């Protein structure tokens, strides 16, 4: 008698900013939205509040923008529905616990399901989260066990580098998301930082004197991160489509035939609230 394949469902959160899901994910990926509050009016990321609204609000400066995690109850409802619908287990893959309480909320919810739900902190966001979530969903669609699906996500996270540039550190400072970058605040007007996500949160990779040099160096570091591997690359931005297009064009030229898949997306309201207009990011996912 043939043993039935395990059915593992994968959950992630809305800060992954995923592309249209490929058929290889087999419908195994569920997205839980984070919340945004603009001038006292709450809403869910993407469904209620988009990146343009947040960029406009941040530009106005007098408009307050804050973000909040999903509640443990929201995660529990999703996990229960997936298990009731036939999943044997759930892997929940989320943005860095250093950047949000989302991982903690998911972990609290998972504790009520007797080991059927496991939670991963990818130590990143954007497609730094998205690539591991997609890898997990593909492994689940291929019949992987919970352990195998988790291993796929963790391996993808380990092969992914998230780099970004901001015009000002002010929005990161307001949200308490800059960590070690706080040392730059005194010289923020004369230093343009290239930042990246690590187990410590958002940290400074390099300090550059002008925006143009910072963007050129961002490309250099992305190419260095790719090494000799075939790679998938995501470019994110907030209210900076021309800057993102130019960045992507240069990356295509520099990486060449080793570039497999390319994604260009504007970040949503949650990440946008903490980085500000003008931000561009490069996420490099090494295939092996």
Neighbours of 199 (CB within 10 A): 11
CATH number at residue 83: 3.40.50.10170
Confidence label for 180 from pLDDT (cuts 50, 70 and 90): very low
- The answer to the question of residue 46 being in a domain is no
Contacts of 136 (CB under 8 A, 6+ apart): 10, 29, 91, 93, 149, 150, 152, 153, 156
Q: Verify that 173 and 201 share a domain, yes or no.
A: yes
| Residue 67 DSSP class | E
Q: Verify that 94 and 107 share a domain, yes or no.
A: yes
Quick: pLDDT tens for 276-285.
899 999 999 9
Report, as an integer, the average pLDDT of 228-256.
96
Instruction: Flag whether pLDDT at 3 surpasses 50.
Output: no
Instruction: Flag whether pLDDT at 188 surpasses 90.
Output: no
**By three-state DSSP, how is residue 46 classified?**
coil
- The pLDDT, as a whole number, for residue 173 is 67
Question: Of 158, 191, 216, which residue is a domain's last?
Answer: 158
- The pLDDT, as a whole number, for residue 186 is 43
| Residue 124 DSSP class | -
Please indicate, yes or no, whether the overall pTM of this predicted structure exceeds 0.85: yes
Instruction: Flag whether pLDDT at 64 surpasses 70.
Output: yes
267/127 Cα distance (integer angstroms): 10
- The answer to the question of residue 64 being in a domain is no
- The answer to the question of residue 44 being in a domain is no
Report, as an integer, the average pLDDT of 210-229.
94
257/197 Cα distance (integer angstroms): 27
Instruction: Flag whether pLDDT at 66 surpasses 60.
Output: yes
202/186 Cα distance (integer angstroms): 18
- Mean pLDDT for the chain overall: 89
Q: Verify that 189 and 262 share a domain, yes or no.
A: yes
CA distances to 18, 46, 137, 171, 215 from 97, rounded to whole Å, are 19, 21, 21, 19, 27
65/186 Cα distance (integer angstroms): 24
- The pLDDT, as a whole number, for residue 178 is 57
Helices (H), 20-126: 51-60, 72-84, 102-110
Q: Verify that 140 and 169 share a domain, yes or no.
A: no
First to last CA, the chain: 36
Place of tokens 């070690």: 180
Confidence label for 288 from pLDDT (cuts 50, 70 and 90): confident
Question: Of 106, 140, 158, which residue is a domain's last?
Answer: 158
Instruction: Flag whether pLDDT at 187 surpasses 70.
Output: no
CA distances to 106, 111, 129, 277 from 80, rounded to whole Å, are 13, 12, 23, 38
Q: Verify that 12 and 145 share a domain, yes or no.
A: yes
Quick: pLDDT tens for 115-161.
999 999 999 999 999 999 999 999 999 999 999 999 999 999 999 99
* Of 98 and 178, more confident: 98
For the chain, what is the total number of helices (H) and then of strands (E)? 9, 13
Instruction: Flag whether pLDDT at 175 surpasses 60.
Output: no
- The range of the structural domain enclosing residue 100 comes to 8-34+69-158
């Amino acid at each position: 008698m043939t043993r039935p394949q395990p059915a593992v469902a994968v959950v992630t959160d809305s800060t992954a900013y995923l592309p249209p899901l490929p058929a290889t994910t087999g419908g195994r990926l569920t997205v839980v939205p984070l919340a945004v509050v603009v001038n006292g009016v709450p809403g869910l990321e993407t469904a209620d509040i988009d990146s343009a609204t947040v960029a406009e609000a941040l530009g106005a400066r007098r408009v307050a923008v804050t973000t909040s995690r999903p509640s443990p109850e929201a995660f529990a409802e999703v996990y229960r529905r997936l298990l009731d619908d036939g999943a044997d287990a759930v892997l929940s893959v989320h943005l860095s616990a250093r950047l949000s309480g989302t991982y903690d909320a998911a972990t609290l919810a998972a504790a009520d399901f007797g080991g059927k739900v496991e939670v991963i902190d990818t130590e990143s966001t954007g497609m730094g989260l998205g690539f591991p979530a997609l890898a997990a969903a593909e492994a689940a669609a291929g019949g992987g066990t919970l352990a195998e699906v988790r291993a796929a996500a963790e391996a993808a996270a380990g092969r992914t580098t998230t780099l970004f540039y901001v015009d000002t550190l002010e929005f990161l400072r307001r949200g308490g998301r800059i960590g070690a970058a706080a040392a730059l605040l005194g010289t923020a007007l004369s230093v343009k930082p290239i930042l990246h996500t690590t187990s410590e949160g958002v940290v400074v990779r390099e300090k550059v004197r002008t925006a143009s040099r910072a963007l050129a160096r961002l490309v250099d570091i992305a190419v260095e991160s790719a090494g000799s591997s075939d790679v998938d690359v995501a470019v994110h931005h907030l209210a900076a489509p021309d800057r993102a297009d130019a960045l992507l064009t240069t990356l295509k030229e520099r990486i060449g035939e080793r570039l497999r898949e390319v994604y260009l997306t504007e970040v949503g309201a949650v990440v946008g609230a903490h980085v500000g207009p003008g931000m561009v990011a490069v996420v490099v996912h090494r295939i092996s």
